[in-house]
Amino acid sequence: MEEKFHLDIDCPQLFHHGDMICGDVFLSRRIKEENRTIVILSDGMGSGVKANVLATLTASMAMNFTIEHTDFKTIAEIIMNTLPVCSVRKVSYSTFTIVDIEYDGTTRIMEFDNPDCVIMRGDSFFDPGWEIIELESEENKGKILRACQFNARKEDRILFWSDGIMQSGMGSQAYPFGWGLDNAVEFVKQNIKASPYISSTALGKKIVKRASRNDQDEPKDDTSAGVIYFREPRKLLICTGPPFEMEKDSELAMRVYHFKGKKIICGGSTAEIVSRELGLKFAPGMTISDPELPPVAFMEGINLVTEGILTIGKVARILEDYDNNYQLGEGPADQIVHYLLQSDQISIINGTRINFAHQDPNLPVELEIRRTVVKRVVRLLEEKFLKDVNLSFL
């Protein structure tokens, strides 16, 4: 099922100053069978380990019940009745925002006690028509949920945040009552006007950095800024390994030729086939940017040409270790990861001809069979980075 748009999702976070763990928990999951994406942000009471435990429990329950299509009211009741009660304040406390998006853009949002979720249509504020749901059970009487449903369009953004954003700067001369929703929305509008296609990561980072600056870079609370951006999918093709049968060389070359998007070739033999079949100029590179890997080569019309199996093995390792603080280098594998993270729909063509260079018993065990490594990369891209990946063997 071809998606109408890609969901670019991220939630940059800063910890409460002095804490080693975040009391806000962000989860996102793609349910492939239903072509649904669910995003959760929970903020546990206080900060540090206790807050993290409360928020983790809340976010996991919210995720599991939303996957099962449980109605929002029931989810809220179950979460509130399950959380341990604080012995001092006599309340079990963790806020949450749930966003449930179907492939056609039907979007449902529910929130409890997080700052108001905001929807932007381009650089304008969009009101989907929120409804207020009051809980009726004896334990939770009077507690209020905010919910809405709308059909998202391309270039819409959903912004959801924790208290650390809105309350930043509280007590300062500039913002005696905190930065507040109006200022945050105005800040978002200005950034979208300045760069209309800004990614979720970049926009989220700008929001948390600004909130941190309001507190002289010593955040007084855990600070999270989640962004969901509905945009045109960015496409990437990676070819690695020559086709099993030489007769298929021209098919591989034509698939590369007709692909609309960025193109990467991993493997010298694969690059030689594409260059020969399409008559493209191909030159080896001399500059070593990663001591573990051969240098990148150059081919007209191809964004990146690298060595094959060693480079893909390193790509898998980087994807495994990657988090918000990871600094990508200039090496061939780092460059591939950069392209992967910038892309939404990734097609990988895995050639299955045996490369005799890899049959040497003296070569390191590192050289896992190409297919295994590629499958590992696909799994990481789908599960950890929510990418839409299509793997085909040739």
C-beta contacts of 73-80 below 8 A and 24+ residues apart: 73/133, 73/135, 73/145, 75/110, 76/110, 76/112, 76/135, 76/140, 76/143, 76/145, 77/135, 77/137, 77/139, 77/140, 80/135, 80/139, 80/140, 80/143
Q: Per residue in 120-160, pLDDT tens?
A: 999 999 999 999 999 888 888 888 999 999 999 999 999 99
Distance between CA atoms of residues 259 and 3, nearest Å? 18
Instruction: State if pTM tops 0.85.
Output: no
Which single residue is written with the structure tokens 């093995």? 313
Tell me the Cα Rg of the chain.
Answer: 24
Report the chain's mean pLDDT, rounded to a whole number: 91
Distance between CA atoms of residues 384 and 380, nearest Å? 5
CA 85 to chain centre: 33
Q: Per residue in 80-130, pLDDT tens?
A: 888 776 666 666 678 999 999 998 999 999 999 999 999 999 999 999 999
pLDDT at 105: 93
Distance between CA atoms of residues 134 and 76, nearest Å? 11
Q: Per residue in 283-318, pLDDT tens?
A: 999 999 999 999 999 999 999 999 999 999 999 999
Distance between CA atoms of residues 51 and 99, nearest Å? 22
Is the predicted pLDDT of residue 323 greater than 90, yes or no?
Answer: no
Q: Per residue in 216-271, pLDDT tens?
A: 999 999 999 999 999 988 999 999 999 989 999 999 999 999 999 999 999 999 99
Give residue 352's pLDDT band: very low, low, confident or very high (50, 70, 90): confident
The token pair at 343 is 């892309």
Which single residue is written with the structure tokens 């507040």? 180
Structural domains in the chain, CATH included, are: 6-231 (3.60.40.10), 235-393 (no CATH)
DSSP-assigned beta bridge partners for residue 299: 282
Task: At 108, give phi and psi (nearest 5°).
Answer: -115, 135
| C-beta separation of 350 from 365 below 8 A | no
| C-beta separation of 211 from 172 below 8 A | no
Task: At 343, give phi and psi (nearest 5°).
Answer: -105, 160
Query: Residues with Cβ < 8 Å from 366, sequence gap 6 or more?
Result: 310, 313
What is the number of residues in the chain?
394
Give residue 359's pLDDT band: very low, low, confident or very high (50, 70, 90): low
pLDDT at 364: 45
| C-beta separation of 253 from 27 below 8 A | no
pLDDT at 370: 81
Q: Which strands, in side-by-side order, build the sheet including 106-112?
A: 24-31, 36-44, 94-102, 106-112, 144-151, 131-134
